[in-house]
Every structure is written in C-alpha cells, then in structure tokens.
Amino acid sequence: MNINTEMSPEISLIICTRNRDHVISDTLNSALSQSLDTSRYEVLVMDQSTNDETEKLLKDYSNFRYFRLNSRGLSISRNEGLKQSRGEIIVFADDDLLFEENYLSDIVDFFSNSEFKPDMIGGKILPKYLAPKPDWIEGYLLGGLGYSDYGDKPRLYDSHPKHVPYGGNMAIKRKCLNKVGSFSIIKNADQSLTVENEDIIFANKLRELGYTLAYCPDMVVYHKIQPDFLTYKYYKKRYYLQGISDAKAYYMLEMFSYSEITIKIIIHIKRLFTGLIFQFFKKTPYEKYYQNLRVYYNAGYIKSLLKILFDKKI
C-alpha cells in the first residue's frame, strides 16, 4: 500500500487495538488488500498495548499510520483516531475482523449514491468461527458474538436506541463531528469491564441532531470468533457486562429519569426471576440458555441502576 501524503485521502480506516498482536495480522492484511485505489484511503492503527508486540508487527506495514497510546479505553483510542485521521469519511473497525476486498469502495459508493443520503452507515457483522459452534448459540444469542445483519436491502435504521451502526463496522462523514463531537468516555473502577456502548451513545447523538443513519448491506465484515467466545463462561460474563452497560447507556440517552430508577429496579428484578424460573420449563438448549442468561443480564442491569441511584452519576 502506498499512500500519497501530499493529498488528504478520501477515507480513513481506524483500527483500535490493545494487546492483540495474536489476532490483528489478518485484519491488517485484509485492510492492505482493498480494491480501492491506495491513494484514496489511509489506515490508522491506534495501539494501547502494554507490550511492544503490536508495534513490532506494524514495522511490516510501513505505509500504515501507527500511533502508540499511553491510555486505556476504546473511546479514548477512537477519539485519538478521529484527531489524527485525514479522510472525509471515517471508518471504525475492530482488530479481529476480515474485510471484503470491496469493503472501502462499497462504503464510498453508498455515501455517494444512496437515495438515503446518509451521514453515518453500518453494515453486516458476520461470524467466522475458529471452532465448532455449540447448538445452543443461535437466535438472539448470536448478538453476544457481535453478530449484526439487517438483510440484503439498504434501509434506514429505525428509532430503537440499539438499532444503529456498531463500532466494529461503522462509517461517518467528517462534517458530522462539528456538531456531535467525540465518543463519550465512560470510566470504570473495574478495569475488566469491556462493554460500554459508547458507539451506541455516539450514534444516537447523531440521530438526535437530525443526521441520517442508514444500513448498507454490501458493507460486510467477518468477525473472527475465538474458541473461548463459544463457552457458557464467556456468555455469562458478556451478558452481565451488557446489562451494566445498557443501564448506563439508556440513562445517558434519557430513556428514563433519576426519579424512575426505583421502578426500573423492580421491573428488572421481576425479569431476573422470570428468567430464573422459565429456564427450567424450556425444551430446547437455546431457550434454556437464553432464559438463564437473562438472569445475568438483569443482575448487571440492576447493579448499574443501584450505582446510579446512590452515586447520582454514571
């Protein structure tokens, strides 16, 4: 890849990573193999690693723009990527993805030619399993692996707060940043929390400002699913953290007020016990696991609501 540094590229692909040198190579090679003319795009790697392995790896990708960050947090990394990027279209991707070879060109084409005249777009996130998938992971539970697929026709995202482009496969016009600003930074005392919904909050801010969010079915990435993601242990933690993060996000999006938190706690206690009881009456493995994981999700949601209630802050 040989980028013309005398002119700003049309599109910036930002890949954020932290201690993931064992998975990022495929993503870098995929970014290198795009059909879009190399003068039209740049690749930025924002590295928050605590070791030098990713930095060493990037020496083989001399035309990528590499940034070593002394920080932690995906939003911090994305915001620094925004500052350093030069393209009029900014694309965010995770470090364990594979791109179709026309990925970037399809993004440019959709922004230019879509009848929706979008300001932000998202696409499909499809799983690429690195180990056999258990039978119980299907339906809604695929969402725990980052799966997202709204079909094969372009469409506008509806008003549901979670029906937005996800940060693993998201593109936005730079001009929108003048109003929406940057990604919200949500700090946690527990550094193990990795699900924070900043991308959902960011997308909903755009929507509230009147920008158009559209789905591009040709914007396809493949998420490499590691074997340990296909375990009940992973899903328990994932659903618990998702509950914590969803409560925060919905409160920040003003979907409920501080005075309504007590009622929300009661609702989610009921949902927790519903899942606890229903799991024993379901017949299929998927239904049993889904009800069981509802317990962990609602436990996390309740914990987050209690923290907001007593601390009076996120």
Instruction: Check residue 88 and give its pLDDT.
Output: 96
Cβ neighbourhood burial of 97 (10 Å; 0-12, 13-18, 19+): buried
Instruction: Read off the amino acid at residue 275.
Output: G
Instruction: Check residue 45 and give its pLDDT.
Output: 97
DSSP for the chain reads ----TTS--SEEEEEEESS-TTTHHHHHHHHHT-SS-GGGEEEEEEE--SSSHHHHHGGG-TTSEEEE-S---HHHHHHHHHHH---SEEEEE-TTEEE-TTHHHHHHHHHHH-TT--SEEEEEEEEEESSPPPTT--GGGGGGGT-B---SS-EE--S-TT-S--TTEEEEEGGGHHHH-S------SSTT-----HHHHHHHHHHHTT--EEEEEEEEEEEEE-GGGGSHHHHHHHHHHHHHHHHHHHHHTTSS-GGGHHHHHHHHHHHHHHHHHHTTT--SHHHHHHHHHHHHHHHHHHHHHHHHHHHS--
Q: What percent of the chain has pLDDT over 90?
A: 86
Among the residue ranges 4-8, 62-66, 258-262, 295-299, the one predicted with the least confidence is 4-8
In tens, the pLDDT along 126-173 reads 999 999 999 999 999 999 999 999 999 999 999 999 999 999 999 999
Please say if the pLDDT value at position 70 is more than 50.
yes
Please say if the pLDDT value at position 105 is more than 70.
yes
Q: Which fold has domain 11-230?
A: Spore Coat Polysaccharide Biosynthesis Protein SpsA; Chain A (3.90.550)
212 CB-side CA count, 13 A: 14
Q: Which residue has the tokens 């947090």?
A: 73
Q: Tokens standing for 187?
A: 């700090």
Instruction: Look at phi and psi of residue 254 and say left if phi exceeds 0, alpha if psi is from -120 to 50, else beta.
Output: left
Q: Return phi, psi of residue 114, to 5°.
A: -65, 140
Residue pair 242/155 in contact by the 8 Å Cβ criterion: no
Alpha-carbon distance of 217 to 235, in angstroms, equals 27
- Quick one: pLDDT band at residue 188, thresholds 50, 70, 90? low
In tens, the pLDDT along 28-50 reads 999 999 999 999 999 999 999 99
Domain residues of the chain, as ranges?
11-230, 236-311
Residue pair 186/314 in contact by the 8 Å Cβ criterion: yes
Give the pTM. Answer: 0.91
- Quick one: pLDDT band at residue 196, thresholds 50, 70, 90? confident
- Quick one: pLDDT band at residue 4, thresholds 50, 70, 90? very low
